[in-house]
């Protein structure tokens, strides 16, 4: 009854904004410096919240509330929306998702790089049963769909297989997927012809979804990959996001000027293409990123046969050496650090040069390639690769079509030596790229973290501080907020985030997680409801 009365009062407030005497709110945020997510200049005001919505913005000095937050001297902004995570790794272990919430991230998206849960509705049921702190959306992974139908074979789909995959994408979109993701760098996505991607993307387009892609290459073939991504968007008639856009390999640094020019030209002729990135000069992925895709066809057993075969081992080794010198290795085995190894945890934090020396070998690229083979034989590992151009990071961030995304899982505190992006991405943008270096403005950073991604994902009632929107809100100290996680010591939460609200509930208070888990499923535009 109280909530119904509150909603009625909210309605009357919207009709007569000046009548603020004795209005009752669940929460009032007072005197905050509001950066509303639109990119417009900040202003100082109060925010009234009833239930899960922002119901009034204006002078609420005479209003009453169950909870009053003094935000004087602090920035109040929309909750941040992360368009690219691998948060399925960790969310069931750490449903509070502190690593995300303490950066101000209130909505996470899973299913990137072509790998996703399937079926979507069963996954959503598990998330609801777990109860998590942030909101949660997913993409359907083209690689997952292809793997279920074709496996890890390097061939085009038959007509019947293509129809089956299209039906699976349609099912996922109707069950609430935000769009379709590809990982064309990874097996089996790497074996997919462009036309096949286009046909599956057309299904997502019919349901108003987007196409978000880890492109085929981000090093020497970067520009070819950008062109393919643009082509897919044009031919499928679907909005496109080039995800975690970067330039890998010292020889290729500076190529973002051309890639961004290609994006601008495509947008000028009507292609709805955008970008996201993380603010670091290192990437993280499996150690198999150093292995050519053809050698991975058929799965792990066949890969092992090839690296153990006298006929193919040297060919594969030559390609691994090339990738260490001119691709993800950044020119030196010291640039490739093992971040997580389930079968040998002591390996975490050591680079390929360290591991070569431990084996009594010189730290050469050739010996490092043999170490890579040993790691794969043991069961594989994930690695951090220091090979991204720093000037390219700046240039990409300044582009108006670029959003911010972490590409990280949920941090399980103390596990491995992961990339610090899972703890620090959004705080790093605000602390380093806005405050310390002035690469972009505060208002532009918040826009890139909130409304830009909300619009891209078809989320119409989040991403802005405006009346009627869900109360996903961050409150932070602009002079204090910073990432603390480093590559050497990644398990450190960001600081400076004072309050975070998700759907009107306080999940971070005075910089500490409250234990609240009000997160909800974010369904895509093609969602048709539960059966």
- Residues 349-380: tens digit of each pLDDT: 999 999 999 999 999 999 999 999 999 999 99
> Which residues share a beta bridge with 68?
28
pLDDT given for residue 234 in this prediction: 97
Query: Is 172 part of any domain?
Result: yes
Task: Return the H-helix or E-strand segment holding 383.
Answer: strand 382-386
pLDDT given for residue 80 in this prediction: 98
Tokens in use for 33? 């410096």
**407 and 346 in one domain?**
no
Phi, psi of 174 (to 5 degrees): -70, -25
CA-CA distance, 315 to 324, in Å (whole number)?
A: 15
**119 and 234 in one domain?**
yes
**115 and 261 in one domain?**
yes
Query: Is 144 part of any domain?
Result: yes
Query: Is 104 part of any domain?
Result: yes
pLDDT given for residue 12 in this prediction: 46
- Which residue among 421, 440, 460 closes a domain? 460
Query: Is 124 part of any domain?
Result: yes
**246 and 151 in one domain?**
yes
Tell me the C-alpha to C-alpha distance, in Å, between residue 385 and each of 18, 24, 95.
56, 53, 28
**306 and 444 in one domain?**
no
- Which residue among 460, 481, 500 closes a domain? 460
CATH of the domain at 127: 3.20.20.140
> SS3 of 115, please?
coil
**356 and 321 in one domain?**
yes
**251 and 172 in one domain?**
yes
CA-CA distance, 324 to 387, in Å (whole number)?
A: 10
- Which residue among 355, 371, 386 closes a domain? 386
Q: Are 327 and 219 in contact (CB under 8 A)?
A: yes
**119 and 138 in one domain?**
yes
Q: How many CB atoms lie within 10 A of CB 121?
A: 16
Phi, psi of 417 (to 5 degrees): -125, 70
pLDDT tens, position by position, 1-40: 444 445 444 444 444 444 344 579 999 999 999 999 999 9
pLDDT given for residue 529 in this prediction: 73
- Cβ neighbourhood burial of 362 (10 Å; 0-12, 13-18, 19+): exposed
pLDDT given for residue 160 in this prediction: 98
3-state helix, strand, coil in the chain (%, to 5): 40, 20, 40
CA-CA distance, 442 to 448, in Å (whole number)?
A: 10
Q: Which residue has the higher pLDDT, 17 or 50?
A: 50
**102 and 118 in one domain?**
yes
Query: Is 21 part of any domain?
Result: no
pLDDT given for residue 325 in this prediction: 96
pLDDT given for residue 23 in this prediction: 74
CA-CA distance, 371 to 321, in Å (whole number)?
A: 11
pLDDT tens, position by position, 446-483: 999 999 999 999 999 999 999 999 999 999 999 999 99
Q: Are 349 and 417 in contact (CB under 8 A)?
A: yes
Over residues 295-304, mean pLDDT: 95
**134 and 232 in one domain?**
yes
Residue (of 74, 81, 66) closest to 30 by Cα position: 74
pLDDT given for residue 17 in this prediction: 45
**373 and 394 in one domain?**
no
Tell me the C-alpha to C-alpha distance, in Å, between residue 360 and each of 348, 364, 368, 371.
19, 12, 12, 11
- pTM for the model stands at 0.94
**326 and 193 in one domain?**
no
What's the structural domain count of the chain?
2
Residue percentage of the chain with pLDDT more than 70: 95
| Domain limits for position 102 | 80-282+387-460
């Amino acid at each position: 009854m109280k909530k119904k009365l509150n909603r009625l009062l909210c309605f009357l407030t919207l009709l007569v904004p000046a009548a603020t005497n004795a209005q009752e709110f669940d929460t009032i945020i007072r005197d905050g410096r509001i950066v509303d997510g639109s990119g417009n200049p900040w202003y100082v005001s109060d925010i009234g919240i009833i239930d899960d919505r922002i119901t009034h913005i204006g002078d609420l000095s005479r209003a009453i509330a169950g909870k009053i937050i003094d935000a004087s001297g602090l920035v109040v902004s929309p909750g941040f929306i992360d368009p690219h995570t691998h948060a399925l790794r960790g969310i069931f272990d750490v449903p509070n998702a502190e690593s995300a919430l303490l950066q101000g991230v209130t909505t996470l998206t899973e299913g990137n790089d072509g790998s996703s849960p399937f079926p979507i509705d069963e996954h959503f049921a598990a998330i609801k049963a777990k109860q998590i702190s942030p909101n949660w959306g997913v993409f359907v992974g083209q690689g997952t769909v292809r793997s279920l139908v074709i496996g890890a074979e390097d061939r085009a789909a038959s007509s019947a297989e293509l129809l089956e995959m299209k039906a699976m994408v349609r099912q996922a979109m109707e069950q609430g997927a935000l769009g379709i993701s590809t990982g064309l760098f990874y097996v089996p996505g790497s074996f997919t012809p462009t036309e096949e991607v286009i046909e599956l993307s057309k299904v997502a387009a019919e349901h108003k979804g987007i196409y978000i892609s880890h492109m085929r290459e981000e090093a020497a073939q970067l520009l070819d990959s950008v062109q393919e991504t643009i082509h897919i968007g044009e031919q499928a008639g679907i909005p496109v996001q080039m995800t975690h856009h970067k330039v890998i390999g010292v020889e290729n640094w500076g190529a973002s000027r051309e890639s961004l020019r290609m994006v601008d030209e495509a947008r000028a002729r009507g292609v709805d293409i955008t970008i996201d990135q993380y603010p670091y000069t290192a990437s993280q992925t499996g150690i198999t990123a150093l292995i050519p895709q053809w050698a991975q066809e058929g799965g792990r057993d066949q890969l092992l046969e090839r690296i153990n075969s006298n006929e193919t081992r040297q060919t594969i080794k030559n390609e691994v050496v090339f990738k260490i010198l001119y691709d993800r290795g950044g020119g030196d085995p010291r640039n490739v650090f093992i971040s997580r190894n389930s079968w040998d945890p002591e390996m975490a934090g050591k680079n390929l040069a360290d591991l070569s020396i431990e084996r009594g070998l010189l730290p050469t690229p050739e010996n490092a390639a043999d170490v890579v083979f040993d790691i794969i034989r043991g069961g594989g590992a994930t690695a951090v690769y220091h090979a991204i151009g720093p000037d390219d990071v700046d240039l990409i961030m300044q582009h108006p079509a670029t959003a911010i995304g972490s590409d990280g899982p949920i941090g399980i505190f103390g596990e491995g030596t992961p990339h610090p992006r899972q703890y620090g991405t959004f705080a790093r943008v605000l602390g380093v790229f806005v405050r310390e270096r002035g690469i972009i403005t505060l208002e532009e950073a918040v826009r890139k973290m909130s409304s830009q991604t909300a619009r891209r994902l078809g989320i119409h009632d989040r991403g802005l501080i405006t009346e009627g929107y869900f109360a996903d809100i961050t409150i932070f100290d602009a002079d204090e907020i910073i990432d603390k996680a480093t590559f050497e010591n990644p398990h450190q939460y960001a600081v400076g985030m004072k309050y975070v609200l998700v759907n009107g509930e306080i999940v971070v208070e005075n910089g500490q997680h409250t234990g609240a888990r009000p997160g909800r499923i974010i369904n895509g535009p093609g969602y048709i409801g539960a059966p």
